[in-house]
């Protein structure tokens, strides 16, 4: 992992993710459909990068490639210097729905993830307990996931990803299924937690505000076949607070990103994030 970033805020940070001219097509009834048309991006160590793009532009597909679930037709993806998919567990993945095992308690779900990652039984138990305490979730340790609210399930899911040892976290619309108020609470919760830990994150989101609040850099994908059409280094210092939303610079960047997305979608701007 000696390579250095070629763009973004911290020129000396090593790269945790390198996506180089990645293309992918899927078979269709007639021929193939090109989804990714040569995407290049990077995430540095301790960097929070968000991906915005029109619906169907290939954001989830891209995360799947980085997670090693699929192989690109061409191009190269390195996670911590290793080809994506060359071995399991290079990246931690948090989907929109928590996907916790219903027959295991909250603590049991986290312990299992740690055991799969190679921790001993005792270590897994200790780390899970400490993590739950740190996140204020200890009272739910013995609960089963289905009795928790959606927001609480996502907190557990995030803790599971946070405790796993992978150098990169992939978050795919993690708050997309939550109501607006819970979503805001979760963003603030994630922000304060991430600012303590500074893991490398690639977040897919439909919310411009969410991307601006959380990220160091924002990348905008074009509609399919997708390429990166806009890169924005978010200029706000850290720690950040939600009060940022009311600042004029926040509003201006939001408008700029909104225009970029609208151009890509080719629409009138209805359904603004």
Ligand X SMILES: Nc1ncnc2c1ncn2[C@@H]1O[C@H](COP(=O)(O)OP(=O)(O)OP(=O)(O)O)[C@@H](O)[C@H]1O
Residue placing its CB nearer to ligand X in the complex, 34 or 105 = 34
CA 128 – CA 105 distance, rounded (Å): 12
Compute the least distance from the CB of residue 10 to ligand X, in Å. Answer: 27
Residue placing its CB nearer to ligand X in the complex, 58 or 145 = 58
Residue placing its CB nearer to ligand X in the complex, 232 or 261 = 261
Compute the least distance from the CB of residue 136 to ligand X, in Å. Answer: 31
Residues in the chain: 273
Compute the least distance from the CB of residue 205 to ligand X, in Å. Answer: 9
Residue placing its CB nearer to ligand X in the complex, 69 or 116 = 69
CA 234 – CA 173 distance, rounded (Å): 19
Decide: 221 and 58 in contact? Cβ < 8 Å: yes
Residue placing its CB nearer to ligand X in the complex, 22 or 152 = 22
Longest CA–CA separation in the chain, Å: 56
Residue placing its CB nearer to ligand X in the complex, 25 or 184 = 25
Compute the least distance from the CB of residue 216 to ligand X, in Å. Answer: 21
Q: Which string of DSSP letters, residue by residue, matches the chain? A: ---B-SSSS-TTSBEEEEEEEEEEEEE-SSSEEEEEEEEEEEEETT-EEEEE--TTSSHHHHHHHHTTSS--SEEEEEETTEETTSSTTSEEEE-SS----TTS-HHHHHHHHHHHTT--HHHHHHHHHHHHHHTT-GGGTTS-GGGS-HHHHHHHHHHHHHHS--SEEEEESTTTTS-HHHHHHHHHHHHHHHHHH--EEEEE-S-HHHHHHH-SEEEEEPSSSB-EEEEEE----SS--GGGGGSHHHHHHHHHHHHHHHHHHTS--TT--
Compute the least distance from the CB of residue 55 to ligand X, in Å. Answer: 4
Residue placing its CB nearer to ligand X in the complex, 12 or 28 = 28
Compute the least distance from the CB of residue 264 to ligand X, in Å. Answer: 11
Residue placing its CB nearer to ligand X in the complex, 46 or 176 = 176
Q: Provide the binding-site residues for ligand X, judged by CB under 6 A.
A: 26, 35, 53, 55-61
CA 108 – CA 187 distance, rounded (Å): 25
Compute the least distance from the CB of residue 178 to ligand X, in Å. Answer: 16
């Amino acid at each position: 992992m000696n390579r250095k970033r070629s763009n973004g805020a911290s020129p000396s940070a090593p790269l945790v993710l390198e996506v180089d001219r990645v293309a992918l097509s899927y078979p269709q009834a007639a021929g193939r459909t090109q989804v990714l048309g040569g995407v290049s991006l990077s995430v540095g160590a301790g960097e929070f990068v968000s991906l915005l793009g029109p619906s169907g532009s290939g954001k989830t597909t891209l995360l799947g490639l980085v997670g090693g679930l699929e192989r690109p037709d061409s191009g190269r993806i390195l996670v911590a210097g290793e080809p994506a998919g060359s071995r399991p567990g290079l990246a931690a993945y948090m989907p929109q729905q928590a996907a916790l095992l219903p027959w295991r308690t909250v603590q049991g779900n986290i312990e299992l993830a740690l055991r799969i990652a190679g921790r001993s039984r005792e270590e897994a138990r200790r780390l899970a307990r400490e993590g739950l305490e740190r996140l204020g979730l200890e009272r739910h340790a013995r609960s089963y996931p289905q009795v928790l609210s959606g927001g609480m399930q996502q907190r557990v899911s995030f803790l599971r990803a946070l405790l796993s040892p992978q150098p990169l976290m992939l978050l795919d619309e993690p708050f997309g299924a939550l109501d607006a108020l819970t979503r805001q609470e979760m963003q603030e919760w994630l922000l304060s937690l991430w600012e303590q830990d500074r893991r490398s994150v690639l977040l897919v989101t439909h919310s411009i505000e969410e991307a601006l609040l959380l990220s160091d850099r924002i990348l905008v994908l074009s509609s399919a076949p997708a390429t990166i059409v806009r890169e924005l280094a978010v200029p706000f210092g850290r720690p950040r607070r939600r009060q940022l939303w009311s600042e004029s610079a926040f509003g201006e960047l939001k408008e700029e990103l909104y225009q970029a997305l609208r151009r890509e979608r080719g629409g009138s701007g209805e359904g603004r994030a």
